[in-house]
Amino acid sequence: MTSTIHATTPIEGQKPGTSGLRKKTPVFMRPMYLENFVQAIFDGTGGAQGKTYVLGGDGRYFNDRAAQVILKMAAANGAARVIVGQGAILSTPAASHLIRLNQTDGGIIMSASHNPGGPTEDFGVKFNMPNGGPAPESVTEAIYACTQRMHEIHMITASDIHLDKIGRVRLGEMIVDVVDPVADYAALMESLFDFRAIRAMVAGGFRMRFDAMCAVTGPYATEILEKRLGMEPGTVINATPLQDFGGHHPDPNPTWAHVLMEEMFTPNAPDFGAASDGDGDRNMVVGRNIYVSPSDSLAVLAANAHLAPAYKGGLKGIARSMPTSAAADRVAKALGVECFETPTGWKFFGNLLDAGRCTICGEESFGTGSDHVREKDGLWAVLLWLNILAVRGESVAHIMHAHWKRFGRNYYSRHDFEAIDTRHADAMMSALKASIPTLPGTEIEGMSIASADDFAYHDPIDGSVSRAQGVRIKFDDGSRIVLRLSGTGTEGATLRLYLERYEPDATKQDLDPQEALGPVIRAAHALAGIKEQIGRDRPNVIT
């Protein structure tokens, strides 16, 4: 078993995005592509000598082969130990927990999250820091800089490790611990929530449906919901992780989880429905005959978190991504705690969580989490909802309507325009940004624009500044439009259009969101010139 240095040259386009490097799987499978990026991770974070890492992924196509490459490179670069999930499987929140639990020097997560998987679909690799959270921009920039001057990679010559068997083996001088990917995470969840109360609710006839979308959360949900909480077998559907997610798009929203949505709006629907995504960090929540938007879910969870044992002492603060609705802001005000508005991307919550400035965080793209890990956590959000339902003894619909009556309703929706020609998308955003100074004081669709800007975030912990995070247009009546280009796609550009209107009148809180948002939608299209600039006026996905 020998360590070999392989000559290589820089490969263009290895700049990490919002959540690591994501490309089409055939791109990652090109000679030296994965190897160059992994070497850049080690080099850009001070080398691997003597360090301990966590390794796992969501089980998508190429996950198993990539794990073997990463292990051999870690050994050749001098790592002392790697903790890897059995079968190279770990949900993203479970990986974050293992990093923190074992006090490792970070972790490498193989996932493209909610993106499709398969031989021609998407793959991704990202580095998480010792706190369990995604690498901040300073680290991803250092990694990217290493990719641009890459000239050699280090790898040992050795047989593959059998990752399906739990236990300890050696790879060269490096220890490899293959661990149960579910056990530690499930124990953490049981320490946070009142499982006894939830089991009692289940024993009383409560029914649930959880769609794991043929993705990584299946084993976690089966263990916790069916085995530990006593829900009937079959509560978890699409429970077996598949390399291509069964040909489905593993994104938990009403469009891609339409089978669950249809069931929840039938006469004999379960009491509660939920879904999670490819790597287990996102969630969708739906009650019988009522869909809960991610922004509303964050607000309701924050308002009721004290009902769960882990949060009974109250929240230190709430943080939300800028495009997320202001519903959580009103909860924070009522609780008398700070509320932070950050750019999109979970890494921006890490400083706030580490500094003890907030407890619960959320973003509108179906991500919610707390200070128990440093990633969003789909199953955690579902379990907090179950804890709230068990303690309050009320339906999802009742809880939602009571919340709106108390705080007002933020009608909210996100329209995604996917696979747009990048040049057209950039031209549209450039033109919109150029118009920002002229917008305040103008009227459109009967609404007066109060302010407009290109959002910049000043981190209150480390003083860093992140600019150009999305265009915000605010109206006098509290309505709001946000436009930004997403960094999570692998083909063309994705325009995300966020639409919000506040309604304090309880008699006007039962409208269809798209109807209630009609004037805001029309104003957004006119202000950005969406059809003229990108040639399309209908989104691919509405959530």
State the Cα–Cα distance between residues 99 and 190, nearest whole angstrom. Answer: 19
Beta bridge partners of 526: none
State the Cα–Cα distance between residues 427 and 433, nearest whole angstrom. Answer: 10
Mean per-residue pLDDT for 367-376?
Answer: 97
State the Cα–Cα distance between residues 218 and 239, nearest whole angstrom. Answer: 4
State the Cα–Cα distance between residues 50 and 35, nearest whole angstrom. Answer: 20
What does the pLDDT read at residue 2?
79
One domain for residues 384 and 448: no
Are the CB atoms for 264 and 296 separated by under 8 Å? no
Are the CB atoms for 495 and 417 separated by under 8 Å? yes
pLDDT one-digit tens code per residue, 65-96? 999 999 999 999 999 999 999 999 999 999 99
What does the pLDDT read at residue 365?
87
What does the pLDDT read at residue 3?
86
The CATH number of whichever domain residue 420 belongs to comes to: 3.30.310.50
CA 175 to each of CA 69, 81, 170, 183, 212: distance values in angstroms, whole numbers, following the listed order = 15, 5, 5, 21, 32
Positive or negative, the CA dihedral 72, 73, 79, 81 is negative
Domain boundary among 152, 180, 208: 180
Q: Which two tokens stand for residue 58?
A: 């969501």
The CATH number of whichever domain residue 102 belongs to comes to: 3.40.120.10
Q: Give every CB contact of residue 142 below 8 A, 6+ residues apart in sequence.
A: 44, 45
What does the pLDDT read at residue 420?
93
* Residue 448 DSSP symbol: E
Q: Which domain holds residue 225?
A: 185-407
What does the pLDDT read at residue 384?
98
Q: Which two tokens stand for residue 113?
A: 């999250």
One domain for residues 386 and 427: no
The one catalytic residue among 19, 96, 111, 113: 113
One domain for residues 57 and 196: no
pLDDT cut 70: percent of the chain above it: 99
What does the pLDDT read at residue 543?
83
Domain boundary among 129, 156, 180: 180
One domain for residues 212 and 282: yes
Does 113 qualify as catalytic in the annotation?
A: yes
One domain for residues 195 and 281: yes
Beta bridge partners of 52: 81
State the Cα–Cα distance between residues 125 and 28, nearest whole angstrom. Answer: 10
pLDDT cut 90: percent of the chain above it: 94
One domain for residues 356 and 443: no
* Local structure of 98: helix, strand or coil: helix
pLDDT one-digit tens code per residue, 262-309? 999 999 999 999 999 999 999 999 999 999 999 999 999 999 999 999
pLDDT one-digit tens code per residue, 413-432? 999 999 899 999 999 999 99
State the Cα–Cα distance between residues 184 and 344, nearest whole angstrom. Answer: 29
One domain for residues 158 and 195: no
Task: Give Dmax over CA atoms of the chain in angstroms.
Answer: 73
Q: How many domains does the chain have?
A: 3
What does the pLDDT read at residue 490?
55
- What single letter denotes the amino acid at residue 31? P
What does the pLDDT read at residue 487?
57
Mean per-residue pLDDT for 457-481?
Answer: 94
Mean per-residue pLDDT for 191-199?
Answer: 98
One domain for residues 138 and 37: yes
One domain for residues 325 and 190: yes
What does the pLDDT read at residue 509?
96
DSSP strand pairing (480-485 vs 471-475): antiparallel
Q: Which two tokens stand for residue 2?
A: 């020998």
Average pLDDT, the chain: 96
- Quick check: 35 pLDDT over 90? yes
One domain for residues 31 and 78: yes
DSSP per-residue string spanning 152-207: EEEEEE-PPP-TTS-EEEEETTEEEEEE-TTHHHHHHHHHHS-HHHHHHHHHTT--
Beta bridge partners of 276: 283
Question: 193 pLDDT band (50/70/90 cuts)?
Answer: very high
Q: How far is CA 252 from the centre of its chain?
A: 11
Q: Name which of 351, 293, 292 is nearest 319 in CA terms.
A: 351
What does the pLDDT read at residue 417?
94
State the Cα–Cα distance between residues 318 and 298, nearest whole angstrom. Answer: 9
Q: Which two tokens stand for residue 33?
A: 């592509």
One domain for residues 175 and 233: no
Q: Name which of 73, 102, 77 is nearest 90 in CA terms.
A: 102
One domain for residues 225 and 294: yes
Q: Name which of 253, 285, 244 is nearest 120 in CA terms.
A: 244
CA 10 to each of CA 5, 144, 151, 493: distance values in angstroms, whole numbers, following the listed order = 15, 10, 7, 24
State the Cα–Cα distance between residues 234 and 212, nearest whole angstrom. Answer: 11
What does the pLDDT read at residue 489?
53
Q: Name which of 62, 7, 17 is nearest 39 in CA terms.
A: 7
Domain boundary among 378, 407, 436: 407
Mean per-residue pLDDT for 207-227?
Answer: 98
State the Cα–Cα distance between residues 40 and 20, nearest whole angstrom. Answer: 12
pLDDT one-digit tens code per residue, 110-160? 999 999 999 999 999 999 999 999 998 899 999 999 999 999 999 999 999
More confident: 347 or 463? 463
